[in-house]
Every structure is written in C-alpha cells, then in structure tokens.
Amino acid sequence: MQVSVIGCGRWGSLIAWYLDRVGHSVALYGRAESPHFQALLQTRKNEVLELSDHIQLTSDLPQACRAEVLLISVPSQKLRSLAKELAAMDLHGKDLVLCMKGLEVGSGKRLSEIVEEELPADNRIAVWLGPGHVQEFLAGVPNCMVIDSRHGSLKKKLIEAFSGNLIRFYYGEDLLGNEIGAATKNVIGIAAGVLDGLHLSTLKGALMSRGTHEIAGLIGAMGGNPFSAYGLCHLGDYEATVFSPYSHNRAFGECVALGRSYTSLAEGYATAAAVMELAKRYGVELPICRAVYNILYENANPAQQIEVLFNRSLKREWNSKKGF
C-alpha cells in the first residue's frame, strides 16, 4: 500500500518507521521550514529514531496526497488549518487516518468532526488511538492499539494492512467515546504529574479510578458508550500516561507543580480548556479536569486544588442499577 504520513514530529516519524517496517511504501511529509524536517533531510534521524532509505521525505503536500491512505500526525490545534489546505486539493474518495489525540479549543469538537467538516463527504475518516511510546516501540516492546471509524470496511482494511508483531490493533466500536477518552487521558496525565511533583504519587490509584469514572460520565452524556472509558483509548492508556517517564503530559504536570518550565508539546494543556466547554455544554461535573484547568488557566495553587479534590463530599461508587 502507498501511504503518506503528514507530520514529521516524533510520533509521525515513528508511524512512518513502523509502516515501512511492516512492508508499505511510505512517504513522510514535513513543511520545508520545519527544523524537524530539515534535520531528517540532512541525517534521516531525529532525537529518537533513524529512518530507512526506503522512506521518501517530501515537503510537497500535493505530492504526498497522491498516496492511497493519508495518515495525519500534527498538533491537534493545527488540524483545522491543515484540513483547509487539504480541502483545496482533489482528495475525493481518499482515506484519512488521524493519529493524534485532542479536542479543538473554542468548539470542543473531536478531531474526526473537524476533518469531516472541512473535507468532501466522500472521504472516509479513521482514528488510530491507544497506548504506546516511541522509545518502547523502537526497543521492540509490543503494545495494543485501536483503529476506529464510522466505516466498518475502512477499519477492516487498515487493521489488516497495519497489524504487525509490534502492534496488535483492535476494532473500535465507539468513535465518539474513543476520541473523547483518548483526548481526556492527557488531562488525567497532567493531574498525575502534579501528584508526582507534590510527592503524592500514592494518590494515583484514586486518580485512575475516579478519572475513568469522570470521563465515562462525559462520554455517556455526549451520546457515546460510557464503558469506552474503560477500554484501550482511555483507561488502557493510563500506564503510558500516568506512570511513564516518556509521557509529555505527566512530565508537564510535574513541572507545573514544581514551578519549572516545560518546552515540549503537552496536548492535555489545550484539551483541559476544550473539555471544560463540553462539561458546560452537557451539564457534566468533571472535578479532576476542573482542577487541572484551574491550575493551568486560573493560576490556582496545585496543592490547594488537590486538597479540594481530596476533601470533596463522599460519593457512592458504581451502582449497577443506576449507572454513573
């Protein structure tokens, strides 16, 4: 299969590396002015991996879009502008796979919604979600991930084509729930980092339990399946986000708690603002996400916000008859 990966950051480069490894003809697109792309052109390396000579590097977006399948891995807040660029090209009938996690600030829209709004209706959209870090895949450590789409035939096509001994793909059955779960796990990751920075890592068990419960309620209120929060795209991604030294969101939260700067992209920062818009729109109480938002956007004291969460009124756990 001829595929193009649009976005040459660490994850986009890893996807290109992986798809070449499982036998596809791969092009990796980056903007000519991008330092990441220039480094790849000069050395075929970034800070974590080296690309084989089989992978074509291009800064010509129309050329990249000639591939059968386009995989997109760009910062979530830049997706709409990219989608507008793609809409100006003849992409009718093209299959696109979104390989990132986030929500649009200002609208709270899921990433698949953004692309569906901007591109022709005959484009089929899928998402590639779930746990995994570049460093671990490069070391040969396998993981399980999810491909979801409103189009069953597209899911089947991608899973059969992309599966290998490093990644086992599962069929997603709830596009809304999986996208919301994947995006919000980064907010939970920031909360986990705050706990680390405050030397309160023992509270991560409570964070995982209550965080999943919280996001399940949001997914249900939006019309998705609440149990999607307990799948690979949210709870299944906690180990890679809440505990991992490779998680940008966890590291960012730790730096916030310690008053240190952090320069790498942490998608949970923007998602924390977007998810508050959804909480208001759907009338859902999201205390953990609210605490993260208060810390990041309202200059709230991290220790005080954790104390507020810890001292919240006692509530019942899962009720099998009443649900959440």
Active site residues: 185
DSSP secondary structure string for all residues of 143-205: EEEEEEES-HHHHHHHHHHH--SSEEEEE-S-HHHHHHHHHHHHHHHHHHHHHHHTT-GGGHH
Give which of 52, 48, 101 is closest to 72, Cα–Cα: 101
- Tokens standing for 324? 């959440």
Cβ(132)–Cβ(232) below 8 Å? no
Q: Alpha-carbon distance 88 to 165, whole Å?
A: 38
Per the CB < 8 A criterion, the answer to whether 146 and 233 are in contact is yes
How close are the terminal C-alpha atoms of the chain, in Å?
44
Please state the separation of Cα 212 from the chain's center in Å.
Answer: 16
